[in-house]
Amino acid sequence: MNLSPTVFRPLILTLTLSLTLGAPGLADTAPNDPETLMSGIDAMRRLPAGGVRMVQSGAQVFFLSDNGRYAFFGPGFDLWHGARLTSLPEAERLMGRLDRTRLTLDAGDLGALDVGTGTAEVLVFADPRCGACAALLDRLQALPPPLLKHYRFRLIPVPVLGGESQREVLALSCLAERDRAAALEAWLTERTAELPPATDSCGQGPLQRALVTAHLLGLERVPFLIAPDGRLQSGAPPDLEAWLAGGEGV
């Protein structure tokens, strides 16, 4: 499915992680010799920013293209957190969470279907054809009633397993536009393959927005969860209740 530019542009404005590089006066600190540049590297980590790695060399940090061709010196900023990247450990800490007070992710615009009635929102990106996702949804439904009254799990369908997944997600999104309860039941009972195909542009808007959002979040696997406090979880947490409480169930 082609992503519409009219969908992509506003999401880019809302969800742009960028690096502000090349501040005046800092270029003089960059070594002129590439061998000096690459020696003494302590660690590096790929940023969820499209082909950029952050490198720690002693007390200094710089940024390197994935192919190793380009190096950038100067301050880097995580604009999603409003924080300067001063060290690799700090960058890794920020990469593991979102500041949900700064970023407004409206799950309803992404075609979310809800389990639970609480005010504490947990975003769950999942593919209806994903076995691990289905197992997680079973665990969500089996949570104690008090937790289901405290949390609202906003299930966002994203097709990551190929063409059949895309067909099912589009059919699910189309049904949700007419009957959200029926769409949720079809997903929870693993009957999305039985849904009639979507026609015309039905369901495409939420699906496009969900795909763009998943891309900008750097989503590489499903299920992918975002806790109410902004913690990110790639894959289902082994201990769901501990993860919800902010514990070590990851």
User: End of a domain among 96, 125, 159?
Assistant: 96
Assigned domain for 11 exists: no
Of the candidates 114, 64, 70, 84, the one whose C-alpha atom is nearest the C-alpha of residue 23 is 84
- Judgement on whether residues 111 and 92 belong to the same structural domain of the protein: no
User: What pLDDT was estimated at residue 109?
Assistant: 95
Assigned domain for 160 exists: yes
Mean predicted confidence (pLDDT) in 50-78: 87
Q: Is the pLDDT of residue 181 over 90?
A: yes
- Judgement on whether residues 114 and 82 belong to the same structural domain of the protein: no
- Judgement on whether residues 92 and 111 belong to the same structural domain of the protein: no
Average pLDDT across the chain, whole number: 84
User: Which range is least confidently modeled, 25-39, 56-70, 85-99, 172-186?
Assistant: 25-39
- Judgement on whether residues 55 and 131 belong to the same structural domain of the protein: no
Instruction: Confirm if 111 and 203 have CB atoms less than 8 A apart.
Output: yes
- Judgement on whether residues 180 and 224 belong to the same structural domain of the protein: yes
Q: Is the pLDDT of residue 66 over 70?
A: yes
Q: Which of 29-43, 63-77, 97-111, 120-134 has the highest mean pLDDT?
A: 120-134
User: What pLDDT was estimated at residue 37?
Assistant: 62
Q: Which residues pair with 85 in a beta bridge?
A: 76
193: tokens are 């393959």
Identify the CATH number of the domain in which residue 194 sits.
Answer: 3.40.30.10
- Judgement on whether residues 83 and 130 belong to the same structural domain of the protein: no
Instruction: Confirm if 54 and 77 have CB atoms less than 8 A apart.
Output: no
User: End of a domain among 61, 96, 131?
Assistant: 96
Pick the more confident residue, 61 or 175.
175
72: tokens are 């950038």
Assigned domain for 62 exists: yes
User: What pLDDT was estimated at residue 73?
Assistant: 86
User: Which range is least confidently modeled, 88-102, 131-145, 174-188?
Assistant: 88-102
Assigned domain for 44 exists: no
- Judgement on whether residues 92 and 185 belong to the same structural domain of the protein: no
Assigned domain for 157 exists: yes
- Judgement on whether residues 232 and 115 belong to the same structural domain of the protein: yes
CA 250 to mean position of chain CA atoms? 16
Q: Is the peptide bond before 223 cis (omega within 30 degrees of 0)?
A: yes
- Judgement on whether residues 77 and 157 belong to the same structural domain of the protein: no
Distances 186 to 130, 192, 230 between C-alpha atoms, Å: 14, 6, 29
Q: Is the pLDDT of residue 34 over 80?
A: no
- Judgement on whether residues 153 and 214 belong to the same structural domain of the protein: yes
Pick the more confident residue, 5 or 133.
133
Mean predicted confidence (pLDDT) in 178-188: 97
- Judgement on whether residues 85 and 191 belong to the same structural domain of the protein: no
Other C-beta atoms closer than 10 Å to the C-beta of 189 total 11
Assigned domain for 39 exists: no
How many domains are contained in the chain?
2
Q: Is the pLDDT of residue 224 over 80?
A: yes
Assigned domain for 203 exists: yes
Q: How confident is the model at residue 17 (pLDDT cuts 50, 70, 90)?
A: very low
Assigned domain for 76 exists: yes
Q: Which residues span the domain enclosing 197?
A: 107-245
- Judgement on whether residues 68 and 179 belong to the same structural domain of the protein: no
Instruction: Please tell me the distance from the alpha carbon of residue 163 to that of residue 158, in angstroms, as a whole number.
Output: 12
User: What pLDDT was estimated at residue 180?
Assistant: 97
